[in-house]
Amino acid sequence: MKIRDIKVLCVLGSLLMAAGCSQEPSISFFCESDRAGNYILKWEVSPKDDDDEIKIYMSKDDAGFQEPPVLTTSVNDYVATIPTGDPIGRHFFRLKVNKTFSGVISNRVFKTDSVQNFRDLGGYNTVTGKQVKWGRLYRSGELYELTGKDKNMLDALGIKTVVDFRDHEERLQYPDDYQAQKIIHIPMYTGNRAYVREKIIDGTFYRGDAIIFTQDTYKTLITDYSEEFAQLFDILCDEANYPVLIHGYLGKDRVGLASYILLYVLGVSNAVNEDDYLLSNSNISEEQVMGEARFLPERMQEAATVVCKVNLSYLNYAKTCMINKSGSIDNYITNELKLTEDKKEKLRQILLY
């Protein structure tokens, strides 16, 4: 397996962990899990000797990893499957080559029956070498008509606070099917999704219409909902609220912007942050969202794809709106979202290892 292949697979889950001098190896990695409780770990070590071994440590608690390792194998194996026999519980890993440890590893994406785009915002490295904590903050689409397996998964993750960005009409028509200790509604209206879906199906809403609709959505979020985003960050500054799940309809636009701003504040690089934003595209089922729309002519399917997916042009448009409103992204975050240096530091204390 080549390094570039690892990077493609990692998307954003690939983290570099170097220890001290340049002669010590760095370890990039990727982790995914299945519904049976098996974890698949992939890695690349550089520099390395062919006779180097890699030790894999596993724990149910990301704060501690005990000897002995669950597996010791050659660095040249590049991949290992770790069965846990526990399809519900969460597991964490660290890799060790010689005296160098990787960061904390776990799965980012959760395979669900009924929830779109459910993933953990943890695991990313910051530009200062810190790592975002796993298991503190999750993002997803709506929690409508959950299956029993999905409810068990949410219970196992210990979700304490659910922040729902959907407007009143969305919540009324598609009520959440999960009772967390705290359910906080921060409504942001982003257009009538049923109306748009009907227009796509009847052939009067094309790709260009969908692009304009999405751009207008992002502009509205930046210009009209600063107070709502500020409310979210006040919630995130209270450690008693964690673990937190923030969600919208598909968890890609309102949630995507909120996630981008948070990772920006935590110090995650722009490239990694953008990749996290784009990760929605591989975790939203267009077929599940649009149903019969997938059988429409190509020009109509193109509109459906725009509505169901994200594109960096939308995120860049939102950044431009921030700059136009406040002079810079940093000014927008400080002045419009009321994220003072004290609040930013509080977020870093709560969310960084």
User: pLDDT digit string (tens) for 82-104?
Assistant: 999 998 999 999 999 999 999 99
Element (H, E) at 79: strand 79-83
Which stretch of 34-48, 112-126, 262-276, 289-303 has the lowest confidence by average pLDDT?
Answer: 289-303
d(CA 193, CA 289): 11
Is the pLDDT reported for residue 194 higher than 60?
Answer: yes
Q: Are residues 288 and 333 in the same domain?
A: yes
Tokens coding 193? 């999704």
> What is the band of 294 on the pLDDT scale with cuts at 50, 70, 90?
low
Q: Are residues 74 and 196 in the same domain?
A: no
339 sits in the region (left: phi over 0; alpha: psi -120 to 50; else beta) called beta
In 160-267, where does DSSP find H-type helix? Answer: 168-173, 193-201, 207-224, 226-236, 254-266
What is the per-residue pLDDT across 7-31, written as a single tens digit (0 to 9) for each?
A: 434 443 444 343 334 468 999 999 9
d(CA 101, CA 55): 9
Q: Are residues 84 and 160 in the same domain?
A: no
Is residue 113 situated within a structural domain?
no
**What's the pLDDT score for residue 287?**
79
Q: Are residues 97 and 137 in the same domain?
A: no
Q: Are residues 92 and 172 in the same domain?
A: no
Is residue 106 situated within a structural domain?
no
Is residue 112 situated within a structural domain?
no
**What's the pLDDT score for residue 17?**
41
Q: Are residues 137 and 25 in the same domain?
A: no
Handedness of CA 31, 132, 264, 232 (dihedral sign): positive
Please give the mean pLDDT across all residues of the chain: 91
> What is the rounded average pLDDT of the residues 167-186?
95
Considering 43, 75, 101, which residue would you say is the last residue of a domain? 101
Q: Are residues 159 and 88 in the same domain?
A: no
Is residue 96 situated within a structural domain?
yes
Is residue 111 situated within a structural domain?
no
Q: List, in sequence order, every residue forming a beta bridge with 137; answer none if it has no partner.
A: 244
Q: Between the CA of residue 305 and those of 59, 113, 114, 244, 338, what are the distances in Å?
A: 40, 21, 20, 29, 35
Specify the 3-state DSSP secondary structure of 171: helix
Say if CB 98 and CB 52 are below 8 A apart: yes
Helix axes 207-224, 312-326, angle to 10 degrees: 40
**What's the pLDDT score for residue 258?**
98
**What's the pLDDT score for residue 20?**
38
Residues shown for the chain: 353
> What is the rounded average pLDDT of the residues 298-322?
91
Which stretch of 3-12, 145-154, 174-183, 313-322 has the lowest confidence by average pLDDT?
Answer: 3-12
Tokens coding 55? 């030790």
Q: Are residues 199 and 284 in the same domain?
A: yes
Q: What is the DSSP letter of 20?
A: S
Higher pLDDT residue, 97 or 199?
Answer: 97
Say if CB 62 and CB 133 are below 8 A apart: yes
Q: Are residues 83 and 210 in the same domain?
A: no
Residue with tokens 């960084």: 352
Q: What is the DSSP letter of 248?
A: -
Percentages helix, strand, coil for the chain, rounded to the nearest 5? 40, 20, 40
Q: Are residues 143 and 85 in the same domain?
A: no
Reported as half-sphere exposure (CB side, CA atoms, 13 A), residue 203 has a value of 4
Strands 92-97 and 137-140, sheet pairing: unpaired
Q: Are residues 238 and 160 in the same domain?
A: yes
Considering 39, 69, 101, which residue would you say is the last residue of a domain? 101
What is the CATH number for 214?
A: 3.90.190.10
Considering 52, 69, 101, which residue would you say is the last residue of a domain? 101
What is the CATH number for 30?
A: 2.60.40
d(CA 117, CA 309): 11
Is the pLDDT reported for residue 256 higher than 80?
Answer: yes
Which stretch of 20-24, 231-235, 290-294, 298-302 has the lowest confidence by average pLDDT?
Answer: 20-24
Is residue 263 situated within a structural domain?
yes
Q: Are residues 126 and 204 in the same domain?
A: yes
Domain containing 48: what range? Answer: 3-101
Taking the model in full, what pTM does it have?
A: 0.90
> What is the rounded average pLDDT of the residues 214-237?
97
User: Number of structural domains, the chain?
Assistant: 2
What is the per-residue pLDDT across 62-86, written as a single tens digit (0 to 9) for each?
A: 999 999 999 999 999 999 999 999 9
